[in-house]
Amino acid sequence: MIIDIFLIITSIIISMIAITFLFLNRKNFGSKANIFFNGSLYVALGVFFFTFFFLSSDIFFSEDFALIFWDISIISWGFSVSMLCIIHKYIINYEKKAVLSTLTYSFIFGIILGLSLIPDSFSIQLRSGIYSFIFENLILLSIILIYNIIIIGVMSYNLTKYFTRIRNTISKKMLITLTLEFSIIIVIYSFYILTRAILLKYLYSGFYLIGVCFASYYLIKKPFLFIELTNRIYDFIIFHRSGILLYSYNFETGEETDESLLKGSILIGINHILSNLINKKDQLGLIKMQNRDIILEYDNNHGYALLLTTNHKNTFIDNAVNKFMKKFTELNKQKLQSLNRLIDISEFRNAKDIILEFFEPYIIKN
């Protein structure tokens, strides 16, 4: 009982720390959906499932309460693995069709929920001084086990399919570690509900706490690893209001780009946008194309504009652009305001260090 309470408290504390950090640093996680999914997983798996999974076996409670706790743990498990798979897909590659897979997981979870609430789905027995639960509803048991296998298969497939498109080794290692860790957790839990072996129960708790500590560490120290890792930024261009190219960086090559290497049509288009919009109130901020989003940001006070092309815009990129422009302006304020002299574009090479600071998940790293 003491060990169980200690494990429950540990899991809840870790979950609450992670949820608090998610809320306080929500701008760093790409979108509200990402925050909701991660927060929901911590609540469902780290608080509800872990708590009621252990309390259900404690003979301090009556059999009726133990069965209720077990029901809650089964429902929480079904919801948790659904959230886990959605987050895994979201981190690797956000797509509109992910909505379909989310609906599929919701449907399967609904079946698990419905079957769990049917009376006499479980029976209870006293075994080695603790309560043990037997699945009387074999359909429910089969669905949970099959669903567990599907979740592991889908996560492994997504990791394999998109692995080469992830840009840096830190992200790759994180995903491999967490995918393996949570796959092991799912396997151990599956064997536990089949065999009801006490050893597997505590083996599960050990692997889970190790896994959630890893996940929480990455969440706090490197939150950018929880955004769409295969989303890409292509071109990053800074123009003076006069039309002069101040700086250009290519995220695909990881190198600064000379003006002569930029396509003429791009330069003409940007110059046209600048000449027509940089001094206007209603400025164009986003151009959506079939496979690209073109983001435009302006600093009218200091006479320059930033153009960024990406697969699709998200709040992490918006936040990074704002931070970049603030620091770029601070470092180059006097240079930008000196409009009566010849502009030396080599003076703006400090932009690369700022890009590396704020756009880390999109930088090529080997």
Claim to verify: residue 193 and residue 262 sit in the same structural domain = no
Residue 252 has pLDDT above 60, yes or no: yes
Q: Look at residue 93 in the predicted model and tell me its pLDDT.
A: 65
Mean pLDDT of the chain: 81
290 burial level (CB within 10 Å; 0-12, 13-18, 19+): exposed
Calpha distance 6→136 (Å, rounded): 31
Q: Look at residue 106 in the predicted model and tell me its pLDDT.
A: 82
Q: What band does 281 get if pLDDT is binned at 50, 70 and 90?
A: very low
Kindly report, residue by residue over 140-166, the tens digit of the pLDDT.
999 999 999 999 998 898 888 877 777
Claim to verify: residue 202 and residue 237 sit in the same structural domain = no
Claim to verify: residue 159 and residue 215 sit in the same structural domain = yes
Claim to verify: residue 221 and residue 298 sit in the same structural domain = no
Domain that holds residue 104: 2-226
Claim to verify: residue 210 and residue 308 sit in the same structural domain = no
Q: Look at residue 294 in the predicted model and tell me its pLDDT.
A: 85
Claim to verify: residue 32 and residue 110 sit in the same structural domain = yes
Claim to verify: residue 206 and residue 264 sit in the same structural domain = no
Claim to verify: residue 139 and residue 267 sit in the same structural domain = no
Claim to verify: residue 210 and residue 326 sit in the same structural domain = no
**Candidate ranges 33-37, 62-66, 292-296, 316-320; pick with highest mean pLDDT:** 62-66
Calpha distance 116→152 (Å, rounded): 22
Kindly report, residue by residue over 49-97, the tens digit of the pLDDT.
999 999 998 888 888 899 999 999 999 999 999 888 888 877 776 555 5
How many structural domains comprise the chain?
2
Residue 2 has pLDDT above 60, yes or no: yes
- Residue that is last in its domain, among 193, 211, 226: 226
Q: Which two tokens stand for residue 233?
A: 């930024």
- The CATH number given to whatever domain includes residue 19 is 1.20.1070.10
Q: Are the C-beta atoms of 286 and 314 separated by less than 8 Å?
A: no
Helices (H), the chain: 2-24, 32-41, 50-55, 63-92, 98-116, 138-162, 169-195, 198-221, 264-277, 315-337, 351-358
Q: Residue 361 in 3-state DSSP?
A: helix
Tokens 């039309």 sit on residue: 243
- Phi-psi region at 238: left, alpha or beta (left = phi > 0; alpha = psi -120 to 50): beta
Claim to verify: residue 202 and residue 256 sit in the same structural domain = no
- Residue that is last in its domain, among 177, 195, 226: 226
Q: Look at residue 266 in the predicted model and tell me its pLDDT.
A: 54
- Phi-psi region at 166: left, alpha or beta (left = phi > 0; alpha = psi -120 to 50): beta
Q: Look at residue 221 in the predicted model and tell me its pLDDT.
A: 79
Q: Look at residue 166 in the predicted model and tell me its pLDDT.
A: 74
- Residue that is last in its domain, among 210, 226, 242: 226
Q: Look at residue 47 in the predicted model and tell me its pLDDT.
A: 93
Q: Look at residue 22 in the predicted model and tell me its pLDDT.
A: 85
256 burial level (CB within 10 Å; 0-12, 13-18, 19+): middle
Q: Which two tokens stand for residue 296?
A: 């435009």
Kindly report, residue by residue over 93-152, the tens digit of the pLDDT.
655 555 667 778 888 888 898 888 888 889 888 877 888 899 989 999 999 999 999 999
Q: Look at residue 338 in the predicted model and tell me its pLDDT.
A: 64
Claim to verify: residue 311 and residue 217 sit in the same structural domain = no
Residue 238: in which H helix or E strand, if any? Answer: strand 233-240
pTM summary value: 0.77
Q: Which two tokens stand for residue 329?
A: 């302006």
Q: Look at residue 261 in the predicted model and tell me its pLDDT.
A: 47
Kindly report, residue by residue over 4-48, the tens digit of the pLDDT.
889 999 999 999 999 998 888 777 776 677 788 888 999 999 999
